[in-house]
Amino acid sequence: MNKTNVLCDKDRAMLTAFSKRTLAHLTVRMLPFVTDYMNTNVMKEVEKDRIIIEHAVAAFMADTSVDEPEIDDIFEQTKTVDRAFVKGLMIPSMAIKVRHEDIEDIRKARIRCLSKAVFRVLGNWPDSLEFEAGIRQAYSEQEFKATLAEILHLYNQETRALSSSINFLDPFSTAMKFFAGAIFDSMETAAKELTEECTTTIFEEKSDD
């Protein structure tokens, strides 16, 4: 079993489901490009999480830790993902410049949180167990729920902070400020639902251990 691939695949599935649920909760009439933007954005987040997970797994296997110098290095690597994302966006009336200083603290908190979770899971996940059973070995139900909620909330906070880096030309500027708030509210609702759903699914499988 390649545990790095399993962790990355589970993360991709969760964030993809999260993005779809967020869009489903948007009650405002979306501008035509919002769905495409959200779908592209979640793939960006999947790629950044992959970088974090790979570094955390490597550190765990080397019996080291993910300390501030490593967090700084991971943060720098995630910037390249942001730049590729911005370069790939072809949206009229939008000028994007990511000011990483605006989101540095939030993203580094997310790096710490996800890295800590990877360490905890790997430390309690023998090869004989499937991923879900490994989660149950690593966390109590409430601990897992709190950890997943924190990871998703940090993701939401970062997405909201990044919205300040998107500058629209008139007349779209005022409209997009409204959309940014609506998207964040929908993301928070989706995060709560997905946290409950994932926790219930994993911890109802105890009988399979």
For 66-107, write each residue's pLDDT tens digit: 999 999 999 999 999 988 877 776 555 555 667 788 889 999
Of these ranges, 20-29, 76-85, 119-128, the one predicted with the greatest mean pLDDT is: 119-128
* Spatial separation of the C-alpha atoms in residues 46 and 53, rounded to whole Å: 10
| Secondary structure tally for the chain: helices H, strands E | 7, 2
Cis check for the bond before 92: say yes or no (omega within 30 of 0): no
Among positive and negative, which fits the CA dihedral 164, 82, 27, 32?
Answer: positive
* C-alpha neighbours within 13 Å on the C-beta side of residue 100: 13
Where in the sequence is the domain holding 195, given as residue range(s)? 3-208
Taking CA atoms, 52 is separated from 64, 83, 147, in Å, by 15, 17, 16
pLDDT mean over 195-205: 92
The reported pLDDT for the residue numbered 164 is: 67
| Nearest Cα residue to 74 out of 43, 114, 128, 15 | 114
Please identify which residue in the block is written with the tokens 């979306």: 30
pLDDT category of residue 39 using cuts at 50, 70 and 90: confident
Q: How many domains does the chain have?
A: 1
Round the average pLDDT of the chain to a whole number and report it. 86
Phi-psi region of 92 (alpha: psi -120 to 50; beta: other; left: phi over 0): beta
Residues β-bridged to residue 166: 96
* Spatial separation of the C-alpha atoms in residues 66 and 93, rounded to whole Å: 40
Tell whether the model's pLDDT for residue 176 goes beyond 70. no
- Cα 126 to the center of its chain, rounded Å: 25
Please identify which residue in the block is written with the tokens 């905890």: 120
Say if CB 137 and CB 122 are below 8 A apart.
no
| pLDDT tens track for 135-174 | 999 999 999 999 999 999 999 998 888 776 666 555 556 6
- The runs of H, that is alpha helices, within 89-130 are 100-122
- Beta carbons within 8 Å of 160's beta carbon, 6+ residues apart: 180, 184
111 burial type by CB count under 10 A (0-12 exposed, 13-18 middle, 19+ buried)? buried
pLDDT mean over 109-121: 97
